[in-house]
Amino acid sequence: RVSVVLYTSDLRLHDHPPLRAALGSADAVVPLFVRDDAIAAAGFTTPNRQAFLADCLSLLDAGLRERGGRLVVRSGDVVDQVGRVAAEAGADEVHLAAGVSAYAARREERLRRALEAAGRRLHVHDAVITALAPGAVAPAAADHFAVFTPYFRRWSGQRLREVLGAPRTVPVPDRIGSEPLPTAAGLPGVSPGLAAGGEAEGRKRLAAWLRGGLDAYEDRHDDLAGDATSRLSPHLHFGTLSPVELVHRARRHGGPGADAFVRQLAWRDFHHQVLAARPDAAAVDYRTRHDRWRTEATAGDEIAAWKEGRTGYPLIDAAMRQLLYEGWMHNRARLLTASFLSKTLYVDWRIGARHFLELLVDGDIANNQLNWQWVAGTGTDSRYNRILNPLVQARRYDPDGEYVRRWVPELAALAGPLVHEPWKLPHPARAGYGYPAPVVDLADGLTRFRRARGLD
């Protein structure tokens, strides 16, 4: 007997229920990845994620080869390709990790129908992409939790499945042809400081994090210059690390740092369960506030300045330049820059979310769109009137200005916290730095936002 394992956002061998189930019921398995035309057509295969994905596929193939197998890669329509590979291999089952987006739901439905029409079965596995399946816990009168705290309480009380080791061997039938693996070399538009992808890389990072970062996480996770978060988000996005394994290992490690880290992993599950229940929240306001957002037509120059990291607010610009350079940004910086765009500049959150998705290596519909909505005050959060002041945030999270000096070289010669307020320099000296004046007065931005929301 032969089974096909269709890989999507779960590019690993460790703790992989679909692969384990396939190996349990078949003599040979075809691990398949389809470069899906529909995902490319939706503009989701951006340079940074393509480069990271190429690393993931290459290391997945290497891991399979060590176990006597290999990865099969095809491109085209995912349902056609799975059908073809299953027919070539004589497979009677296909295994797949459950997804949460509207697209994943459609893909699953189309696959099920096409496979059943050909006399084959589709097995969909939960708790592969999230620690707890969306819908596993729900409030009494609704299909999902809209507020994190009660969700987290219920989430924390659930027993997660046990962690599965990587299989020793993965026998693959000989006759199944594969396209060459995609490569990251020469891809245009990749951020110069992009991290490397792949399961072996993710496991190395995880080991280092458990050894050297986790204990200080609670105290240091908001310290921008200290860069003291796990940076595991791209590995969670591509599934080179298992969220179930992360929760178990952090809990076993124990302590306040581990508790705080597990809470963040629960935020990830929380957003996934919101999106699964409300797929429209990827594009429309979860809660309408009757905003009449500014857009490219009315705030084009300010939007361009925000994207390019030249708003004249050093902390905002540092963060936006980190995004351009690394394809990644610290959570505190994401909160700040998103608040600045959607509230201080009062620009439609979708414009910011699209820019983030274009660059973020961990760019993810559930986490990105719903975090943007949360910051914009259109999401599940009720504190829709809160606005973050970049200067107050600078004092708190980059008190010496080290983060700004790292990313805004024009200002690197300014010592101490003065780096956050270059407009305080006397005029001739200020001109010498070649750094722009603020695109907006913070008080004006606050007034505009409060009026627009009907808060004054």
Where does this chain bind ligand FAD (CB under 6 A)? 221, 229-233, 236-237, 261, 264-265, 267-268, 271, 330-331, 334-335, 338, 356, 360, 362-364, 367-368, 371-372, 375
In the bound state with ligand FAD, the residue whose beta carbon lies nearer, of 172 and 338, is 338
Least distance between ligand FAD and beta carbon 150 (Å)? 17
Are the CB atoms for 5 and 17 separated by under 8 Å?
Answer: no
Least distance between ligand FAD and beta carbon 21 (Å)? 25
Backbone angles phi, psi at 93, to 5 degrees: -140, 150
Least distance between ligand FAD and beta carbon 305 (Å)? 18
Residue 157 token pair: 């009380």
Least distance between ligand FAD and beta carbon 231 (Å)? 4
In the bound state with ligand FAD, the residue whose beta carbon lies nearer, of 236 and 411, is 236
Least distance between ligand FAD and beta carbon 268 (Å)? 4
CB neighbours (10 Å) of residue 406?
A: 16
Q: DSSP string of 56-115?
A: HHHHHHHHHHHTT---EEEEE-HHHHHHHHHHHHT-SEEEEE---SHHHHHHHHHHHHHH
Least distance between ligand FAD and beta carbon 350 (Å)? 12
Q: DSSP string of 325-344?
A: HHS---HHHHHHHHHIIIII
Least distance between ligand FAD and beta carbon 180 (Å)? 29
In the bound state with ligand FAD, the residue whose beta carbon lies nearer, of 93 and 364, is 364
DSSP code, position 385: T
In the bound state with ligand FAD, the residue whose beta carbon lies nearer, of 82 and 351, is 351
DSSP code, position 366: I
In the bound state with ligand FAD, the residue whose beta carbon lies nearer, of 3 and 9, is 9
CA atoms within a 13 Å half-sphere pointing along the CA-CB vector of 37: 7
| Torsion angle of C-alpha atoms 297, 302, 307, 310, degrees rounded to 10 | 160
In the bound state with ligand FAD, the residue whose beta carbon lies nearer, of 127 and 375, is 375
In the bound state with ligand FAD, the residue whose beta carbon lies nearer, of 382 and 447, is 382
3-state percent helix, strand, coil for the chain, nearest multiple of 5: 55, 5, 40
Q: 394 to each of 269, 314, 336, 430, how far by Cα in Å?
A: 30, 9, 10, 20
In the bound state with ligand FAD, the residue whose beta carbon lies nearer, of 8 and 81, is 8
Task: Write the burial class of residue 287 (CB in 10 Å: 0-12 exposed, 13-18 middle, 19+ buried).
Answer: middle
Least distance between ligand FAD and beta carbon 376 (Å)? 9
In the bound state with ligand FAD, the residue whose beta carbon lies nearer, of 10 and 93, is 10
CB neighbours (10 Å) of residue 118?
A: 11
For residues 317 and 394, give the distance between their C-alpha atoms in angstroms, rounded to a whole number: 12
Least distance between ligand FAD and beta carbon 128 (Å)? 15
CB neighbours (10 Å) of residue 420?
A: 24
Q: 113 to each of 107, 110, 116, 120, 121, how far by Cα in Å?
A: 10, 5, 5, 10, 9
